[in-house]
Amino acid sequence: MSKNTRVPGYMQSKAARNTRGIIGDREIRFKCSLQNTILDVLRGRPGWQEVPGPNIQQQNSQQNNKPAAGSQTSTQPQDGKGTKTGDGDWDFYWCDREWLHQNYDTMFLHEHQKILHFRNHYELTRKNLMVKNLKRLKKQTEREQGKSEGLSFDFHPTTYELPSEYHIFVEEFKRNPGITWIMKPAAKSQGKGIFLFRRLKDITDWKKGEYQPLTDTTREVPETYVVQRYIENPYLIGGRKFDIRIYVLVVSYNPLKVWLYRDGFARFSNTRFSLDSIEDAYVHLTNVSVQKNAPDYDPEKGCKWSTMRLRQYLTAKHGSEAVKKVFKGIDNIITKGLQSVQKIIINDKHCFEMYGYDILLDSDLKPWLIEINASPSLTASGKEDYELKFGLLNDLLNVLDLENRLTGKEKRIGGWDLLWDDGPVLADDGNMECTTNGTSVTTANSFLGCHNDRKRQLREIYTSAQAIKKT
């Protein structure tokens, strides 16, 4: 795709064409570790310039000659504007997690620089740590606000970390005979290493391979897994299981500031759901990376619905009140998840994170948190998926607003709605909801699965921000 054809619709408007990405007296320079939609978006952004960087391997080998932690001299730019050397030659960096881990502690960041990922994002995105942090906040909430408040944390299936909690797990296992459990490597993704089981002896092979007393000190520490209660009654559409991918943007942890993207998708399994075949990944794992290898997978049809289509389907079937409750539950999951690590994440005004939340609905329409990804896939599986991801990422850049074109007071920017700003954000008056007793209540500024007229909205906010800035 050429640079020109990458420019999305709203940017082709006259107003946008005239707007250059400029910091002070120069253009915005970006670096990008990925070769997918994000690179297209960055290259298509008016006035943004790509900084050709060394590839990851070179970066890694350079790492070996890196100065000691704490020393910033060699990475400091020479002209005070971030133009010459090392980490200073970019304004915006969509880096991968490894790069950040290797470089963050020795990096000097200038006032205007923005980089993807917080230093210890894994506190939320590693499966075992996510659950640990949620359990801790739940306990604290129960202590401070009472048991009933703790109930608002009951959205993740019962989970234990293995091998450390093996014995507690066995007790729980024995208390619930016959139910299905799912084993997942704590730090892997894309369904790798996952399996389901019902009998303890089904995990003896795993135990043999991974969970052995470390008598031999030269052996590696066994890989951490989580064992989790399997949701045996997922909500099915056309007999198939699905989970929902939701995009959440955190621009600050202190104070916590969170944006929620309206669009997302439901990822369906390719094969009808049944509890008879627990060894069949195509039935039980909804990851696209798994499903696309199914023998009867049709790449044209794919296995995705937009969140809007899902919301409409659920509304037609169960009515809008029931569906509002589902989506309110999802908002609760999003914010509780982030609050559980708010005090732990190393906050840095240069960092931001775009999370991919995976939520599963059960047959009672209860939303369950399955996991949170720090690097949700940005590779498009088709045209519609490309458009979704292109808009999502472009609007993410609009929220970060390196061009300084907005006022900073916006509650909606394109497809992103401000969900939390050091407290819940309420929708504008126009979105007040009427209760049955005639009083009105303001609703959360949350529009997941609602119409995403982002181009029109962007035109409006840019025009009004321009007018405000002139006065």
**CA separation for the pair 263, 449 (Å, rounded):** 6
Give min distance, CB of 187 to ligand ADP, in A. 9
Nearest residue (CB) to ligand ADP, 90 versus 282: 282
The CA-CA-CA angle for residues 267, 296, 384, to 5°, reads 40
CB of 272 closer than 8 Å to CB of 429: no
Query: Per the omega criterion (within 30 degrees of 0), is the bond before 367 cis?
Result: no
Residue 300: in which H helix or E strand, if any? none
Q: Hey, which residues between 2 and 21 contact ligand ADP (CB under 6 A)? A: none
CB of 362 closer than 8 Å to CB of 213: no
**CA separation for the pair 257, 235 (Å, rounded):** 31
Q: Which of 26, 97, 188, 240 binds ligand ADP (CB under 6 A)?
A: 188
Nearest residue (CB) to ligand ADP, 133 versus 398: 133
DSSP state for residue 428 in the 8-state scheme: P
Q: Which of 16, 231, 258, 465 binds ligand ADP (CB under 6 A)?
A: 231
**CA separation for the pair 286, 284 (Å, rounded):** 6
Burial class (CB in 10 A: 0-12, 13-18, 19+), 459: middle
> Of 45-53, 282-290, 292-300, 431-439, which segment contacts ligand ADP by CB under 6 A?
282-290
Closest CA to 261 of 253, 250, 249, 244: 249
Give min distance, CB of 459 to ligand ADP, in A. 37
Is there binding between residue 286 and ligand ADP (CB under 6 A)?
yes
Nearest residue (CB) to ligand ADP, 367 versus 391: 367
Is there binding between residue 230 and ligand ADP (CB under 6 A)?
yes
Is there binding between residue 189 and ligand ADP (CB under 6 A)?
yes
Backbone dihedral region for residue 285 (phi beyond 0: left; psi -120 to 50: alpha; all else: beta): beta
Q: Hey, which residues between 369 and 398 contact ligand ADP (CB under 6 A)? A: 370-371
Amino acid at 246: I
Is there binding between residue 243 and ligand ADP (CB under 6 A)?
yes
Amino acid at 198: R
> Of 63-71, 137-145, 247-255, 283-291, which segment contacts ligand ADP by CB under 6 A?
283-291
Site string for ligand ADP, 193-212 (x = CB under 6 A): -x------------------
Nearest residue (CB) to ligand ADP, 190 versus 463: 190
**CA separation for the pair 371, 358 (Å, rounded):** 5
Residue 196: in which H helix or E strand, if any? strand 195-197
Is there binding between residue 184 and ligand ADP (CB under 6 A)?
yes
Is there binding between residue 155 and ligand ADP (CB under 6 A)?
no
Give min distance, CB of 229 to ligand ADP, in A. 6
Is there binding between residue 358 and ligand ADP (CB under 6 A)?
yes
Q: Which of 128, 228, 394, 445 binds ligand ADP (CB under 6 A)?
A: 228
DSSP state for residue 426 in the 8-state scheme: B
> Of 183-191, 299-307, 418-426, 436-444, which segment contacts ligand ADP by CB under 6 A?
183-191
Is there binding between residue 88 and ligand ADP (CB under 6 A)?
no
Is there binding between residue 411 and ligand ADP (CB under 6 A)?
no
CB of 322 closer than 8 Å to CB of 357: no
Return residues touching ligand ADP (CB under 6 A). Answer: 157, 182, 184, 188-192, 194, 228, 230-231, 243, 285-287, 358, 360, 370-371
